[in-house]
A and B are shown apart, each in its own frame.
Chain A
Amino acid sequence: MLSPNQKTMKNIRNWAAMLLLTGLVASCTDGYDTVNTNPNQPTEVGSEALVPSAVRSSVNAHANMSYLVGNNITQLTAKTLRREVDLYQWNSFNNFVWDPLYETLRDVESLHTQALAEGNTAAQGVALVLRSWVYSTLTDAYGDIPYTEAIGADDDVLFPAYDTQEDIYLGPNGLIATLDEAAGLLASSSNTLNGDILYGGDTEKWERLANALQLRMWLRVSDKVPSQAASGLQALYSEGRLMTDVSDGGLLTYLSTAPNQFPTFPLKIGDFDAVNISARAVDSLSNWNDPRLEIYARPANAPLAADETPNYAGFENGALEGGGSRLGYRYYNYPGHATSQEMAKGIIMTHAEQEFILAEAAQRGMISGDAKAHYNAGVLSSMLQYSAETLFPYTSVNGETFATPADYLAQASVDFDSAEDKLNRIAAQKWVALYFTGLEPWFDWRRTGLPAFEPSINNENGDVVPVRFRYPGDELTLNTANYQAAVSRIGGDNINNAMWLVQD
């Protein structure tokens, strides 16, 4: 039995033990930094890990937007289901260009930061090429966008301001200046470029791509700043550091297995079938006896019986029903159906497009070159891109036989010299060549109005083809003040509002 005094002593001892325990706990937490060190993911990676993510995510995003919008809006293809794109109900799908592209810019900026840290000017050049290309799609699709302040949350810029389109293109840190810088870095770099899934580390090809993209952008602004554009084009043309053939093109060769396949491969049949070749494309291509019809689409009577001739049917954009030919073999494997030896490529910019740009620039007198030569080179390059060696000789769906590409070019409907409106002829061939090239066919049509086409039937936009996307709702809720400033500057956020590029 304890006396009260002993009890007190005992209590004191107990409390002392508790204090000791507290001290013990405090010292046990010393190891917490180790406990809380992430064992799963790196906090730093080299540029060789970031080049492929930046290339893949940006190219995938563009392939998807071709499939969903770019090809449909200019009626290369048509939506058979979920026809909002073709009906110009563009209010609800405004974020599938915006979101993936700004997401891919995070990869691009990571690459840029890491390249600077490594002192790798080749990787830095690649980051700048991708940055300009991705932002050009964004500004072309929306108009004014966050540019200089974008991708800054890691530096606590949580509400990026919108830059004007003019500054984005032509400003000192604008798209064209950035590409110029990139080309310079790539030309002079002695660094090794690892992880390059596009060109296998060939910095010269990257430089040529940077210059070709500059051509595209100068042409884009050629109506706004004609003399500046002309001298920009001429300088690049004179310098001659441009793509020389198909292999120089910005074409991503996908792998044969998921998840590195062309983005339409993983789709459900029903979803893939939601896009068919369009009536307009079938008309043009069959009118030209064009071998690319069999590339772009597969016969409506597939799989063919042995004695059957392939039969191509186009779906009219906006139509409620019909029966169109599905897209070509290289865009999807149907179980049990014939497959293509080659999978479709992801396109940044093709050599063919460069040649059509030069053809137009020459035709308009902005550069010194020969328009016809570039036109022919463009057509040829586009076919070569789809293995013209195996296309020729061929018999067209109209039963005409072509031994060589020259035979194709000699047709009245294709021949440059016989064209009354040469710019229109260039545009028509360019339009077909821009199949699956992001939103490029739409941007090009918007600039020139060529080749002209009728708005889709049943459209809900007053028979007007939209010229921009609305900003996504996220900007309204998460970047409100800057969004509102931009909207009031451009005079309202709607799909028919002309942005700076196409304002008179």
Chain B
Amino acid sequence: MPYFLKPLGTLKVKKKNHYMSSFKHFFRPILLGLGIILSIASTNAFAQDAELVTGQVVDAETQQGVLLATILFLDGAGESLGGQTTDAEGFYSLEIPETAARIRVSAVGYNDLFVNLPLQDGDVLELQAEVELLDDLVVTALGFKRDQKSIGYSVQTLDAQDFSSAKETNLVNSIAGKVAGVQITGSSNGVAASSNITIRGESSLTGNNQPLFVVNGLPITNGLTSPGDGLNGSSTIDFGNAASIINPYDIESISVLKGPAAAALYGTRAGDGVVLITTKTGQNAAEGVSVDFTSDLLLSTILKTPDFQNTFGAGAYGRRDYETGTQYFGTYDAFGENWGPRMDGRMVRQYKSGGPAPFVPQEDNFTGFFDTGVKNTNNIALTFNDRTSNFRMSFMRMDQQGIVPNSDLTRNSFSLNGGTTLRQRVRISGNMNYIDGGSDNVPNAGYDESSSIMYGWMWYPRNLDIAKLEDYWEPGQEGTQQANHESLWTNNPYFLANENTNSYQRQRFIGNLQVEFDITSNLTARFRSSGDINNEARQFRRAISTRGTSGERGSYQEDELYFKETNQEFLLTYSDRDVTKDFNFEVSVGANAMRQEASELRSFADGLVVPSLFNIGNSLGDISTSQYKQEKEIQSVFGLAEIAFQDAIFLNVTARNDWSSTLPSDNNSYFYPSVSLTAALTDLVDFDAPWLSFANVRAAYAEVGGDTDPYNTRNVFNYGNVWGGQFVATESPLLRNPNLKPESTTSIELGTDLRFLENRLRVDFTWYDIRSKDQIINLPLAKTTGYEAKLINAGEIQNQGVELLVSGTPIQKQNFSWEITANYAKNTSEVVSLADGIESYLIVADMYPADGGQDLSLEARVGEPLGQLIGLDFKRVQSGPYKGEIIHENGLPVVNTGEKVSAGTYQPDFTYGFGNTFRWKDFTLFVQFDGRVGGNIFSRTHTMLASGGGITNKDDERLGSILVGRVELPPLNYDANGQPARDANGNIIWGDPVNSGSFVGPGVMVGPNGEFVDNDVEVATRDYVYRYYNNIFNRDVITTGTYENTWVKLREMRLTYGLPNEIAESVGLKYVNVSAVGRNLLLFTDVPSIDPEAFSIRNGRIVQGFESTSLPSTRSFGLTVNFGL
């Protein structure tokens, strides 16, 4: 039975019994089995020429006999000569073979003991109990399980219990805040949302800084499976990144290998670290059959709502008229902003009011639009284990409905794994996962009116009764014309949610088969073949009358995506753990062949002939189809060696050479080594300090090479849209390069692991320095060269940082305990150099492509941290008492168009997490906070909402509330129809100007004598805000919308009750656990309007530091029940 399903109160015991320990124990079960068989087989053979020795194996501390200890006879070369086991009290009676030189005594929960022969009758062999905290077995590269103390670099492992109930849809989010130096950024991009994960900062200029995910030895890339931006450059339709599909209930542990030293053996893709996922197998389960069942129900509601204002309604400059919603001017008939009159109940004709109606706020129109999200997950797992074979199968079904109406996600996940041992020497195991998932509608979280709900919410009037939009077709024109409160700009949100859907279906198969063969007891060969196949279809529907489609004729796009990766790996391991007591080693050599195939077929019907018939054939315009195929191979040989001295000093060396198909043929081979050394000081020296339980230091150096994408060595022509029957081609604006060479990343890290007071307190500290050189980047070129960029090797990025992990148990009583784990990470990155003569590099040239102006961009600048938020600023006072103040002209801030400035980096100063576990009897309460300090984020949502006048703006301390003193031009008088009163000639009868004050921007202006004085010129608030946040429609000012991205989240609260076993058993169950969970319950931040844990998606990559009209983030809470049969 997987131990995670046990009541948490008994976990400690389970962990001890959980048979995994230091590396040498890895082979022990095999040897044990082998020993028993040999000893039985050889009893007779040895009987005549062996003497009989008797005695007892005892626990060194308690002097109690040790149950079923194994005694193995070894010859002078350390080869096994067979063995025997003790009885239930630890007594042995040994027939020792003549050639035996030593014996090894081992037992579960104890350190191995080596004794030189001969033995005397009555010898008591004392076994030292393994210290529980030290048996931190971690899975490292290639699936080796290592004792934490033998590893020369930082690895952090999470057990299933760390994310056991109420799983996140995206597994990666469960890690958030728990691992030092690992920064997870979730997003509120809808049900299928991706998560960004970066380890030790970002080092790549080309933007892909995702670690490699390895599931049971099978590498899967966690890239976005979104090759493009959807339909226009401003969409953020998030179909999820690859790792999000792993069934969280199948996971046994996650190891995060940080930095190149840990990951060097995985090659190129591991330069940003590796997340190793090990799924549950039957191997470690209790003998026999067990069935485990888990059911989750999780509800989600909006965590943070923008601070909407309820004072002013639709219109502009205090005026509002409603006739048909089709005129921009008139008297602001279709003016989709909230700069109109006060919502004081005056009788104004409004959308669907049929006549005059009170002009009042609809305070809940935003929250009223969204639903409560519901997620229901059921998982059943069947496990079987006997001494030679085991298997586990599980099935998970997840149904999720998002907060956006008509958005959903379903996932069926099947997994099967098993293993068997044949003739004691051959172990065959395999596992497969099949995931079938999809969504009828993934909401779009971009500034794309054709399907983004939030695009509209930037502008929808505060006086708009959202319920009036629920019937979203114009009466009599159902299926052809949407109904909306205005007809120029936005779409009806219900129309978007129900008609303009983005759907997908995904079938993914991941599997591997492994054969391990013990050639001798020291020499093992392993062959592993693995495959990862993803088939996906996506449909983008845009109904007729959708604003934002060409000619408003609707459109339909269908994408078919296919991806396959196979790996064939061979590994030969020679392990000599018994050379002498002081010196052991293990050497492995291996080879791997990796092959990737990918293809994408995209068809687009521009305009629909028959409304609401979403088929490519139903195209009004020319059907445009594009196809992309790609192949890639990497072949590798590698080797690794571990040398252990006195089981306390460990030297690890790795080397790998890759041949990549993507590089020029004369330059496609690259070699990279790593070396690490670690010493368990407390095992070497007697410190005579009882408070110090354990101390270890470690150091590592590593290199990792890198290649590029396929087809980057030869320039090509792109297909232009066909003109009638005429083929059209255009040379690619990206110049490829036949002279590329491999990239290189080197790292150094130093660390220590200190444990005090009988392991009640643990401190683990790491310092590292990572340098990435010769990156293959798209060097941006001036347009006058005719090209946008040229691929070259250039640049050096340095990341330096520290990671600190502190854990402790302040209270440990029989019925009550309190454990704390805290982590802290600080990373500073610097762009050391770029290409010759280049001081800045555009990582993302144009964040919001639909805008004009000079664009906001994400750049690398020499001497600065990687990832600068670049745009324009206002003209500011350079010196004197007003230094830094914005200069105004005619009351408006003046944009400095001559120079693009940086609003800082998105990289945080530091990140931290803080978890508490309280146990009282059968109750366990887990509470986790995490957060970040520093780094900046540009809030697109806030600047747009402010421009639209829909929020109070009180939460932006720089400008403050924009409600006070709104200027109203001569206002309208409304007639009995609720329309502007007109005279006999049809001219509007203006009312008297309302002198309600106006806006005076904070800052200075040039005084009469050329000196700076406080700005005191009043302007219309709308004009001021438009200029201040967005430079009108240029939207290229960066500084005013950028905020320090500091926040704290109450990430998780979980209360678990494990039913006492007697009660569970009385109803025929092995155990029953009930948990109440909450996630993302509280958010503390000064960033206005948005949850700052957000990112954008551009060109198929995650872009941090820029928020893009994201959906509101959610808090969730629910119940989990699990039980075993």
Which of A258, A269, A333, A473 has the largest number of chain B CB atoms within 10 A? Answer: A258
> Residue of B at shortest CB range from A197?
B723
Residues 233 to 292 of chain A near chain B (Cβ within 8 Å): 255, 257-261, 265-266, 268-270, 273
Q: Is B720 in the interface zone, CB < 8 Å from A? A: yes
Taken together as a complex, chains A and B put the C-alpha atoms of A84 and B897 apart, in Å, by 13
Q: Does A26 contact B (CB under 8 A)?
A: yes
Is A413 an interface position by the 8 A CB rule?
A: no
When distances are taken between beta carbons in the complex, the residues of chain B under 8 Å from A269 are 487-488, 547, 552
Given contacts A40-B627, A106-B733, A146-B784, contact A11 B728 (CB under 8 A): no
Q: Are the CB atoms of A7 and B897 closer together than 8 Å?
A: no
**Known contacts A36-B711, A323-B327; is A92 also within 8 Å of B726 by CB?**
no
> Smallest CB–CB gap between B385 and chain A, Å?
32
A98 to chain B: which residues have CB within 8 Å?
Answer: 783
**Chain B CB within 8 A of A1 CB:** yes
Asked whether, in the complex, the Cβ of B574 is within 8 Å of the Cβ of A158, the reply is no
| With known contacts A41-B719, A44-B717, A106–B897 Cβ distance under 8 A | no
**Interface code A7-40, partner B: CB below 8 Å = 1, 0 otherwise?**
1001100110110011011101100110111111
Whose C-beta in chain A lies nearest to the C-beta of B732?
A: A41
Segment among A52-60, A205-213, A345-353, A432-440 that sits at the interface with chain B: A52-60
With a cutoff of 8 Å between Cβ atoms, the chain B residues found around residue A323 in the complex are: 327, 329-330
A96 touches B852 (CB 8 A): yes
- Smallest CB–CB gap between B873 and chain A, Å? 13
A14-B572 Cα distance, complex, nearest whole Å: 8
**In the bound complex, how far is the Cα of B631 from the Cα of A261, in angstroms?**
36
The answer to the question of A474 belonging to the interface, with a C-beta cut-off of 8 Å to chain B, is yes
Verify A153–B328 contact, CB threshold 8 A.
Answer: no
1/0 contact string of B714-752 vs chain A (CB within 8 Å): 111111110110111111110100000000000000000
Within 8 A of B (CB), among A446-504: 472-475, 477-479
Which A residues are CB-close (under 8 A) to B885?
none
Q: Do A472 and B783 touch across chains, with their CB atoms under 8 A apart?
A: yes
Chain B residues numbered 907-960 whose CB sits less than 8 Å from any CB in chain A: none
- Of B645-653, B824-832, B1005-1013, B1026-1034, the segment with at least 4 beta carbons within 8 Å of chain A is B1026-1034
Q: Is B769 an interface residue (CB 8 A)?
A: no
Q: Which residues of A contact B545 (CB under 8 A)?
A: 335
Partner of A322 from B329, B449, B589, B898 at Cβ < 8 Å = B329
Is B729's CB under 8 angstroms from A92's CB?
no
Asked if B637 is an interface residue, CB under 8 A from chain A, the answer is: yes
| Stretch in B143-151, B423-431, B660-668 touching the partner | B660-668
CA separation between A151 and B787, bound complex, in Å?
7
Q: How many Å lie between the Cα of A91 and that of B621 in the bound state?
A: 37
Most-contacted residue by chain B among A11, A52, A197 (CB, 10 A): A52
The answer to whether the Cβ of B629 comes within 8 Å of any Cβ in the partner chain is yes
Give B99's nearest chain A residue, CB to CB.
A1
Question: Please, how many angstroms separate the alpha-carbon atoms of A154 and B724 in the complex?
Answer: 31
Q: B346 in the interface, Cβ–Cβ < 8 Å?
A: no
Q: Judge whether A184 is part of the interface by a CB distance below 8 angstroms.
A: no
Contact of B77 among A7, A10, A39, A84 (CB under 8 A): A7
Q: A57 to chain B: which residues have CB within 8 Å?
A: 730
Q: Is the CB of B786 within 8 A of A106?
A: yes
Category for how many chain A residues contact B:
35 or more
Give the distance in Å from the alpha carbon of A102 to the alpha carbon of B781 in the complex.
Answer: 12
Whole-angstrom distance between the alpha carbons of A154 and B716 in the complex? 12
B548 in the interface (beta carbon within 8 A): yes
Cα distance, A48 to B726, chains bound together (Å): 8
The interface on chain B, measured as residues whose beta carbon lies within 8 A of the other chain's beta carbons, has a size of 99
Q: Is A185's CB within 8 Å of the partner chain B? A: no
> Within 8 Å of chain A (Cβ to Cβ): is B904?
no
Check: A309 CB closer than 8 A to any chain B CB: no
Q: Which residue of A lies closest to B619 (CB)?
A: A257
In angstroms, Cα B1036 to Cα A26, docked, is 52
In the bound complex, do residue A18 and residue B787 qualify as a contact, i.e. CB atoms below 8 Å apart?
no
- A159 CA / B523 CA spacing, docked (Å): 61
Given contacts A93-B852, A160-B785, A323-B329, contact A21 B637 (CB under 8 A): yes
B550 interface contact, C-beta 8 A:
yes
Interface residues as binary, A193-205 with B (CB distance below 8 Å gives 1, 0 otherwise): 0010100000000
Is A308 engaged at the interface, CB distance under 8 Å to the other chain? no
In the assembled complex, A371 has its CB within 8 A of some CB on chain B = no
In the complex where A40-B711, A41-B732, A80-B328 touch, is A91 in contact with B593 (Cβ < 8 A)?
no
Residues of B within 8 A of A322 (CB): 329
Beta-carbon contact of A91 and B897 below 8 Å: yes
A interface with B by C-beta (< 8 Å): 1-2, 4, 7, 10-11, 14-15, 17-18, 21-22, 24-26, 28-29, 32-33, 35-45, 48-50, 52-53, 56-57, 80-82, 84, 91-93, 95-96, 98-99, 102-103, 105-107, 109-110, 145-146, 150-154, 157-160, 195, 197, 255, 257-261, 265-266, 268-270, 273, 321-323, 333, 335-336, 472-475, 477-479
With A14-B574, A17-B572, A35-B631 known, 8 other A-B pairs at CB within 8 A are A21-B591, A32-B668, A49-B717, A151-B785, A153-B781, A260-B721, A261-B551, A261-B621
Supply 23 A–B pairs (Cβ within 8 Å), ascending by A: A2-B79, A10-B523, A14-B523, A29-B668, A37-B711, A38-B710, A40-B630, A41-B717, A92-B852, A92-B897, A92-B1036, A103-B786, A146-B782, A150-B784, A150-B786, A157-B785, A258-B550, A258-B620, A261-B551, A261-B621, A269-B552, A322-B329, A474-B783
Closest 6 CB pairs of A and B: A151-B786, A257-B621, A91-B897, A270-B488, A153-B785, A266-B550
